Amino acid sequence: MPFVSRYFSAPDGLKLHMRDYGAAQDQGLPVVCLPGLSRNAADFAPLADALATGAAGQKRRVVAIDYRGRGRSDFDPDWRNYEIPVENADIDAMLTAAEVHAAIFVGTSRGGFHVMSLAVRRPALVRGAVLNDIGPVIEPQGFSRIRHYLRHMAAPGSLPDAIDCVKKIMSAQFPALSEADFELHARATFQRADGSFGLSFDPKLVRPLDTLNLEEPLPPVWPLFDALAEIPLLVIRAANSDVLAPATLVEMARRHKRCATYVVEGQGHAPLLYDKASIGRIAEFVADVEAQAKVAA
């Protein structure tokens, strides 16, 4: 399904971009997709296409944001604005522009923290949540790996170079990916709106991470997670994840009475959500959330 590119203004006037799949009149509850730290809306193309065309039982609108400094959104002249509170306000602006007042949220990595933050501030907005390989405890070795490759990310100038780049970064943790998966991810990572290839994020994104001491465990944020306590939840973990530990997944399921879990084999942080099984599991969750809402009504 083709998407519509929509631009909107952040609270500080920065020009931001979102992908909009489906139509506002589609009957299903909208789904809002929030990407990872250096990622963008293109990551969710297969999932958005499936949900918008009826994978969860009916057609629905799906919107996905390019945070400031990523994808087709403008870079911020002040790198200190690449932080959760500023981006969370940008998500508010996107939802206002899209006229989305309640939705199911899918958050990959950093996007999961945005989902939890929204649940704290606007609990009526979040009708269901999918946390993709993220939780209230982040393993420092995974965070250190992410910081390292962001510091040294190459800027490939062609599709073959882009595919080679993602293979070098990902092959060890993602043995289950096909050649088509690597190409799709290379395009999502490096292909710009005009078809050229290069970095699709502001290299200054890494600067806020430089202040963190990864020699010590990162502080857990269980109170933030607890904001989801009354919200249907699906937590996805990559079998090879170095960010979300198995013990954290178990504790999340123990603390949350409506938490389902799903493990993606053969992938690392974060699962790409390109495969039929993962898309099918998310579609099943979306359908279940809607069914529960109808019973409650």
In terms of phi and psi (left: phi > 0; alpha: psi -120 to 50; beta: otherwise), the region of 106 is beta
Amino acid at 177: L
**pLDDT 10s digits, 264-292:** 999 999 999 999 999 999 999 999 999 98
What is the enclosing helix (H) or strand (E) of 46? helix 45-52
Q: What is the pLDDT of residues 196-245, one digit of tens each?
A: 999 999 999 999 988 877 777 778 999 999 999 999 999 999 999 999 99
Q: What percent of the chain has pLDDT over 90?
A: 88
As a whole number of angstroms, the distance between CA 202 and CA 191 comes to 14
Asked whether the predicted pLDDT for residue 297 surpasses 70, the reply is no
Q: Give the pLDDT of residue 218.
A: 79
**Contacts of residue 105, Cβ cutoff 8 Å, sequence gap at least 6:** 31, 32, 33, 34, 115, 118, 126, 128, 129, 130
Q: Half-sphere exposure of residue 8, counting CA atoms within 13 Å on the CB side?
A: 23
Candidates 252, 94, 50; CA nearest to 103 is 94
Is the distance from CB of 33 to CB of 48 less than 8 angstroms? yes
164 beta partners: none
The angle at the Cα of 113, spanning 54 to 56, to the nearest 5 degrees, equals 10
- Side-chain-facing half-sphere of 289: CA atoms under 13 Å: 27
SS3 107: strand
Neighbours of 5 (CB within 10 A): 13
Mean of the per-residue pLDDT values for the chain?
95
Who's near 297: CB < 8 A, 6+ residues apart? none
pTM score, two decimals? 0.96
Tell whether omega for the bond before 270 is within 30 degrees of 0, i.e. cis: yes
Domains with residue ranges and CATH for the chain: 4-138+220-296 (3.40.50.1820)
pLDDT tens profile 125-169? 999 999 999 999 999 999 899 988 888 888 999 999 999 999 999
Rounded average pLDDT over 89-94: 98
